[in-house]
Amino acid sequence: MTQQAPAPESLLATAVQDEQSTISREIAELHAERDRGPGTGVEIDFAPYRSSILRHPTKNPKLADPEAIELTSPAYGQRDVARIESDLTLQHTGEPLGERIVVTGRVLDGWGRPVRNQLIEIWQANAAGRYIHQRDQHPAPLDPNFTGAGRVITGDDGSYRFTTIKPGAYPWKNHRNAWRPAHIHFSVFGSAFTQRIVTQMYFPGDPLFALDPIYQSIPNQADRERLVAAYDHDLTSPEFSLGYRWDIVLTGPKAIWSEPEEGEH
Amino acid sequence: MPEQLLPTPGQTVGPFFAFGLDYPASHELVHPHSPGAIVLSGTVFDGAGMPVPDAVVEIWQPDADGRIPTARGSLKRDGHTFTGFGRSLTSDDGHYEFWTVAPGAVDAGKAPYLLVALFARGLLDRLFTRIYLPGDDAALAADPLLSSLTADERATLVARRTPAGHLEHDLHLQGAKETVFLEF
């Protein structure tokens, strides 16, 4: 096993610690000069996120005709994921600290069809904004009753449901006084491997949105809002948890779009 | 009919993906040293030529006979079922590694390859590429994607065979040897 934990802490800091005002000005300039049409997705060349400067490809991706392996995806099922893995509050002997939440929604393809029996993995900081990771040395408390990782398999209607704790905002080393908005990382497989996505779900009304170069790497406001869950009081349980709803839409291959077959809806 | 729903944008995996994405034997598509098993390994580099220690490399591939797997069990390996999916977190020196089998061609005459999804801190959306097997020059020359590329670009998609029969293939996010990444 050659696998190791990633990224020594020293590698996470940028060499020059810019002021937030510098980062915010760069974000505003980049948004002003970019096409703000709908559905443009994320910008991978987004210098206010300093770590992206040397890690984004500079050439346009080549449009490839997907072959059979690209139009399929790994198969998952309860053999892979135990039901209890979707409840992050039950992984230890005691109750984790923080605001207990339910996050639910559906995984859909571009035509609104459910993506069934596929794996969703999530990971997140605890309520104090600390990851249970040896390289997260942010001096917020670790929670002995919270690991912050969960898995689920989508149902026949593409639905998923996690019970967890609302993560806290946390500092990072992109610039001076950089803080990430509270977020949950989502890894999602589709029915084609080309639908594979890793993204982040945010919480409504976060005051850090405007300041965060990762959230702002999405040039279009409507696209950014696509990553923000909706608070849903109907999902909120009396005396127990608050509810959030968040749907995930996966892309289909561009190269061979065709009419969906009858009966597939 | 166009797509009705706009896709959810991607975001970086960040630095702390290990405890969300790591699991036992994630990089062992086949049991190490089993008959036909090979190592596929390489290094992920950034635009300064430095190894990327916080990347995730995923592969998805047919089996040795070119069949696309449909078996479950990529997360809880039983040690004998081939599921076609593997995940390797890069080490402190940017190294990724899989135990797998050389994929067969799904369609006769097509050049066999492994499909790759690449994630990293600092990389705002996942990237796709392919790793083609070296050796069958006629099949590689006939491949529609490879034949549309320059020689330098093609070289970024074809693995090297080691004397021991393993495969080596580096991934360059940026720079003179920037890997050809794909959209579909």
* Residue pairs between chains A and B whose CB atoms are closer than 8 Å: 263
Query: How many angstroms separate the first and last alpha carbons of chain B?
Result: 18
Residues A107-156: tens digit of each pLDDT: 999 999 999 999 999 999 999 999 988 788 788 999 999 999 999 999 99
Amino acid symbol at B72: R
Neighbour tally for A5: CB within 10 Å: 18
| pLDDT surpasses 90 at A197 | yes
A183 is catalytic: yes
List of chain A residues whose C-beta atoms are within 8 Å of the C-beta of residue B7? 39, 41, 110, 249-251
Is the model's pLDDT at A255 over the cut of 70?
Answer: no
What is the C-alpha to C-alpha distance for residues A70 and A143, in angstroms, rounded to an integer?
41
**For residue A15, what pLDDT is reported?**
76
Q: Distance (Å) from the C-alpha of residue A245 to the closest C-alpha of chain B? A: 14
ipTM score above 0.85:
yes
pLDDT of residue A77: 84
Report whether pLDDT(A8) > 70: no
Q: Can you tell me the distance from the alpha carbon of A115 to that of A252, in angstroms, rounded to the nearest whole number?
A: 12
Of A14-23, A246-255, B64-73, B99-108, the poorest mean pLDDT is in A246-255
Mean pLDDT computed over every residue of chain A: 89
Q: Please report, as a single letter, which amino acid is at residue A77.
A: G
**Please, which pLDDT band fits residue A263 given cuts at 50, 70 and 90?**
very low
Question: What global pTM score does this model have?
Answer: 0.94
Cβ neighbours of B12 in A, within 8 Å: 49, 51-52, 198, 214
**A217 reaches B (C-beta below 8 A):** yes
Closest CA to B160 of B140, B180, B128, B135: B135
Cβ–Cβ gap B184/A11 under 8 Å: no
Cα B108 from Cα A148, distance rounded (Å): 46
Quote the pLDDT of residue A137: 79
Cβ contact (<8 Å) for A74 and B11?
no
Q: Rounded to whole angstroms, how far apart are CA atoms B82 and B92?
A: 28
Tell me the CA distances in angstroms from A210 to A170, B67, B70, B123, one per residue in order: 15, 48, 44, 20
Beta-sheet pairing, A100-108 with A159-165: antiparallel
Q: Are A169 and A182 in contact (CB under 8 A)?
A: yes
B183 in reach of chain A (CB within 8 A) = yes
**In which band, very low, low, confident or very high, does the pLDDT at A6 lie, cut at 50, 70 and 90?**
very low
Strand, helix or coil for residue B151: helix
- Report chain A residues whose CB lies below 8 A from the CB of B10: 41-42, 197-199
pLDDT along chain B (184 residues), means of 10: 82 94 97 96 97 97 98 95 98 97 92 97 97 93 94 97 97 97 95
Q: Say if the Cβ atoms of A51 and B121 lie within 8 Å.
A: yes
Considering the candidates A49, A131, A160, A244, report the single residue annotated as catalytic: A131
Token pair, residue B83, equals 């599921």
- Helix extents (H) in chain A: 9-12, 20-33, 221-225
**B105 CB near a chain A CB, below 8 Å?**
no
pLDDT at A11: 60
Set of chain A residues whose Cβ sits within 8 Å of the Cβ of B123:
44, 52, 55-56
The two three-digit tokens of residue B181, written as one number? 């990444």
Asked if A180 is an active-site residue, the reply is: yes
Check if B176 contacts A (Cβ < 8 Å): no
